[in-house]
Copies of this chain bind each other. A is one copy, B any other.
Amino acid sequence: MSLPENLRNRLCDLLGDRLSEGAADRDHHAQSESFHRAPPPDAVAWPETTQEVSAILAACDEVGVPVIAWGAGTSLEGHALAVRGGLTLDFGRMDRVLEVRPEDMTVSIQPGVTREALNQELRATGLFFSVDPGANASLGGMAATRASGTTAVRYGTMRDNVLALEVVLADGRIIRTGTRAAKSSAGYDLTALFVGSEGTLGIITELTLRLHGQPEQVAAAVCAFDDLDRAVECVSTTIQSGIPMARIEFVDAATARAFNGYAGASLPELPHLMVEFHGSPGAVREDAERFGEIAADYGAKGFDWATTPEDRARLWRMRHGAYHACLSLRPGASGVLTDICVPMSELPAAVHAAAEDIAANGFIGPIVGHVGDGNFHSILLVDPGDEAEVARAKEVAFRMAERALAVGGTITGEHGVGLGKRALMPAQHGEAWQVMGAIKAALDPRDTLNPGKLVPDRN
């Protein structure tokens, strides 16, 4: 497929060499961090302004050419793959921090700003942006997928940290949602609707984010447990006790092995918790002590405190590298990723059942998770060329999702729907999935925006 002649001419006039139909550019935008694959888009554009995005969308909508937004390409579910061809909008050139307002603890940015670039920019303000999915994702992409990560247990997800958006609709209209005030009751919460809509309702061209004060004191530690159940039960008890954990991450024995081999760690091959405390010196001491007592009840051992910023950076870099470390456990493998999230009381049973199913099916499938939210992942290592094996891994993943739904949980805690979870949407939402489809049809009547994703196919 290629762009219709008329559209190509309009876009060329608008963008010049910021429109590419070259194979390398197109192929680059067909890449995916996970095993999802799709043909490349017909073309790639690098807009620089909201007005350009508006003109592009209006032009594509007129002739029915799909438009897919692309941030940093770190999606794990193939969100930004052009499954029906069309034009990929790469936001790499809309990466400016527009305004930091330290007194309001907010910042306005363009969607191509990455998480790390934003925090670099904020360094001198005493503030930071909290949502931390590990990958150096773009903030536009993080909003579009309602990302979260290790600190969500304390500071919330993108749902909680996006105050306002500028969005371009399918027909090119530009709207603003939300305000810079801390709260508002002025009608439908369009901000929350666009956060997590995965580029299917509109394209985000500006975000206003909530910031947090850098904690006065930070302490982090890793500790080991004799078995998975005791580690996870320790998490449930800790959360239920109300200790305001800044991070509480679980990694299983296989992940510890992967860290040792891939990241040069020297952890016992046991399940671990990785924890962090934020607050005043007194509060951090109090919280760490209370956690230590609970952990001791579950037989925690080998407490290793990361006392310097460098030690902590190393600890969390290791945690954030878990996906790639785990892939190294089976050279050449791809990962079928699960991402369920369950109510806290159901967490120990859910992790236990997942581990049993993985073992019973003979997979290497390390389990890691933001367990303070009840969210965990297994990385089922598969030979991407072995269709039968991939299918079997997907069955394990499907059963995990089914069990999550059976106890009131969700098929995706943070990765989003993309290609990987769409087949599970009817099971999770029932008739509400049709409601999502009705909203999509109302806002994007020609199905221009990231078609083939999230909502039911049109009749």
B428-A186 in contact (CB<8A): yes
Interface residues of A, CB < 8 Å — how many?
Answer: 85
A146 in the interface, Cβ–Cβ < 8 Å?
Answer: yes
Chain B residues lying within 8 Å of A197, measured Cβ to Cβ, are 188
Interface string of A407-433 (1 = CB under 8 A from B): 011111111110001001100111111
Q: Which of B147, B189, B190, B342 contacts A185 (CB 8 A)?
A: B147
A439-B436 in contact (CB<8A): no
A375-B195 in contact (CB<8A): no
A183, A190, A374 interface centre (most CB from chain B within 10 Å): A183
Interface string of A129-169 (1 = CB under 8 A from B): 00000000000000001111000110001011000000001
A240 in the interface, Cβ–Cβ < 8 Å?
Answer: yes
Chain B residues lying within 8 Å of A416, measured Cβ to Cβ, are 185-186
The CA-CA distance from A179 to B181 in the complex, in Å, is 28
A179-B435 in contact (CB<8A): no
A177 in the interface, Cβ–Cβ < 8 Å?
Answer: yes
Q: Which of B236, B410, B438, B455 contacts A181 (CB 8 A)?
A: B410
Q: Contacts A283-B283, A344-B104 given: A186-B410 contact, CB under 8 Å?
A: yes
A147, A157, A417, A432 interface centre (most CB from chain B within 10 Å): A432
A5 in the interface, Cβ–Cβ < 8 Å?
Answer: no
Chain B residues lying within 8 Å of A157, measured Cβ to Cβ, are 183
A51 in the interface, Cβ–Cβ < 8 Å?
Answer: no
**Inter-chain pairs besides A181-B374, A185-B339, A192-B192, 19 sampled, C-beta below 8 Å:** A101-B343, A103-B344, A145-B185, A146-B184, A146-B189, A169-B435, A177-B432, A180-B409, A181-B341, A181-B375, A184-B413, A185-B196, A185-B410, A186-B416, A187-B428, A187-B454, A187-B455, A280-B283, A280-B286
Chain B residues lying within 8 Å of A180, measured Cβ to Cβ, are 343, 408-409
The CA-CA distance from A421 to B186 in the complex, in Å, is 8
Instruction: Name A180's closest neighbour in chain B (CB-CB).
Output: B408
A447 in the interface, Cβ–Cβ < 8 Å?
Answer: no
Chain B residues lying within 8 Å of A394, measured Cβ to Cβ, are none
Chain B residues lying within 8 Å of A442, measured Cβ to Cβ, are 438-439, 441-442
The CA-CA distance from A44 to B282 in the complex, in Å, is 57
B185-A193 in contact (CB<8A): no
Chain B residues lying within 8 Å of A186, measured Cβ to Cβ, are 410-412, 416-417, 421, 424-425, 428-429
A443 in the interface, Cβ–Cβ < 8 Å?
Answer: yes
A159, A339, A346 interface centre (most CB from chain B within 10 Å): A159
Shortest Cβ-Cβ A-B pairs, 3 listed: A192-B192, A180-B408, A442-B442
Q: Contacts A159-B192, A188-B196 given: A181-B409 contact, CB under 8 Å?
A: yes
Instruction: Name A454's closest neighbour in chain B (CB-CB).
Output: B187
A238–chain B nearest beta-carbon distance, Å: 13
